Every structure is written in C-alpha cells, then in structure tokens.
C-alpha cells in the first residue's frame, strides 16, 4: 500500500495521511455494504453532500448513480 499511497499523493496533492484516512473510510464502507442483511435500502442522505445515498439497514454509502441503478434493479426484479 505504501507505494500506491505515495503515487496517489503526488497525483492528488493530498497528504499521505489524508489518503490513508480516505482509504480506511472506503474499506469500512465496503465492509458495511458486504455485511448488510440486504437488500440495501438506499435513501438520499439529508443535509449531506448531494450525491451520497446511504443504506438504512447497514449505513453503507454509495453514489447517486449507483443507488439509482440498484433501486431500479430491485424494482425490475420484483
């Protein structure tokens, strides 16, 4: 992970520490999503960044477009 973080730091201008904490968030979010009892119940997150959707069951977050496709897929599968 060290080399990848150095490379990302150069490209993004973020410090290694910032990138590590973002990476931790991503891992934690992925863990929540994979451990969800499913199906996810993605709802627009109130008062937060406009493009975040959060699952009411597991608390995992996804982008608006991911939530849209997931919800449409659920509807189609009914």
Is 5 a binding residue for Zn ion by CB under 5 A? The answer is no
Is 14 a binding residue for Zn ion by CB under 5 A? The answer is no
Q: Which CB, 8 or 36, lies closer to Zn ion?
A: 36
Is 19 a binding residue for Zn ion by CB under 5 A? The answer is no
Q: Which CB, 19 or 40, lies closer to Zn ion?
A: 40
Could you tell me how far CA 43 lies from the centroid of its own chain?
13
**What's the start-to-end Cα distance of the chain, in Å?**
42
Is 64 a binding residue for Zn ion by CB under 5 A? The answer is no
39 preceded by a cis bond (ω within 30 of 0): yes
Instruction: Tell me the H-state helices in the chain.
Output: 2-12, 16-34, 64-77
Is 40 a binding residue for Zn ion by CB under 5 A? The answer is yes
Question: Which residues of the chain form contacts with Zn ion (CB under 5 A)?
Answer: 36, 40, 55, 57-58
């Amino acid at each position: 992970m060290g080399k990848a973080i150095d490379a990302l730091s150069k490209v993004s201008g973020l410090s290694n520490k910032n990138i590590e904490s973002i990476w931790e968030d991503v891992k934690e979010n992925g863990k929540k999503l994979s451990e969800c009892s499913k199906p996810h119940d993605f709802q627009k997150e109130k008062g937060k960044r406009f493009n975040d959707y959060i699952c009411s069951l597991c608390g995992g977050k996804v982008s608006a477009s991911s939530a849209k496709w997931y919800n449409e897929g659920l509807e189609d599968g009914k």
